[in-house]
Amino acid sequence: MADWSAEQYLKFEDERTRPARDLLAQIPLKESRQVVDIGCGPGNSTELLAARWPQARIIGIDTSADMLRQARERLPDFTFIEANVAHWVPPAGTDVLFANAIFQWVPDHLAQLKRLVASLPDGGALAVQMPDNLDQPSHVLMREVAQLAPFREQLVHAAEARDVLPPPGVYYDELRPLCRTIDMWRTDYLHVLDDAATIVEWVKGTGLRPFLDPLDFPERKDFLEAYTARIAANYPPQADGKVLLRFPRFFLVATR
């Protein structure tokens, strides 16, 4: 895929940061020496970690040059590194690994989670949040439009960018032998947005990217028109004209 757009992502900063706050609140460590924000994006989650553990060394990693540029502008005194978590090894002394909405994009992410948990010292924690929304209309309709004749050939692999998350029991059975405790929960957020077009703007920054990136500009415009029409039909306005975007997310905190 093309590079991420920090500007597009930050159009919904408050909504995207809320799950990071909820995840952070459940990490049991009162003190930390070194924290890594995996998939730090534009630094909104890194900022939360710095406030929680002001004495800790905070590191952010991401694959996106634009996200890292924004993070460095936002938090110039922190360390941000371009790295792919699939090939990255936590530096010595790391006792908190925090990952907000990144591992759904990582192939074989369960194996990566096991590797990272095993790298932690006693008492260390791995905290992960992943969208679990592939069955929602916002994402079902992406795949539906991708099957239309004008786009089918270019987007034959678009839906492969993310896999359906395994059941919670799979995470438990795989990670429990590596840690003292494992806490898991699922939250359905209901985001109040202006209209159907705003839902499209939201997913343009994340889930829609594998479907738009392979298309040229005219094809992209046609795809968005077809997709927006379907979104409008599936997310009817409330009495005040607003729409509700249901967004399920899965949370996991594993403590060594």
Laid out side by side, the sheet with 243-255 consists of: 79-82, 57-62, 34-38, 96-100, 125-131, 243-255, 181-193
Is 1 part of a structural domain of the chain? no
Contacts of 64 (CB under 8 A, 6+ apart): 3, 4, 6, 41
Q: How much is the pLDDT for 12? A: 79
Burial class (CB in 10 A: 0-12, 13-18, 19+), 49: buried
Domain that residue 139 falls in? 6-255
Is 192 part of a structural domain of the chain? yes
Is 220 part of a structural domain of the chain? yes
Please provide the average confidence, as pLDDT, over all residues in the chain.
94
Q: What percent of the chain has pLDDT over 70?
A: 96
Is 187 part of a structural domain of the chain? yes
Token readout for 249 is: 């997310």
Token readout for 131 is: 């969208």
Q: Structural domain tally of the chain? A: 1
Is 128 part of a structural domain of the chain? yes
Is 33 part of a structural domain of the chain? yes
Q: How much is the pLDDT for 22? A: 97
**Residue 85 belongs to domain with CATH number:** 3.40.50.150
For 178-216, how does the pLDDT look when each residue is reduced to its tens digit (9 = 90+)?
Answer: 999 999 999 999 999 999 999 999 999 889 999 999 999
For 145-185, how does the pLDDT look when each residue is reduced to its tens digit (9 = 90+)?
Answer: 999 999 999 999 999 989 899 999 999 999 999 999 999 99
For 104-142, how does the pLDDT look when each residue is reduced to its tens digit (9 = 90+)?
Answer: 999 999 999 999 999 999 999 999 999 999 999 999 999
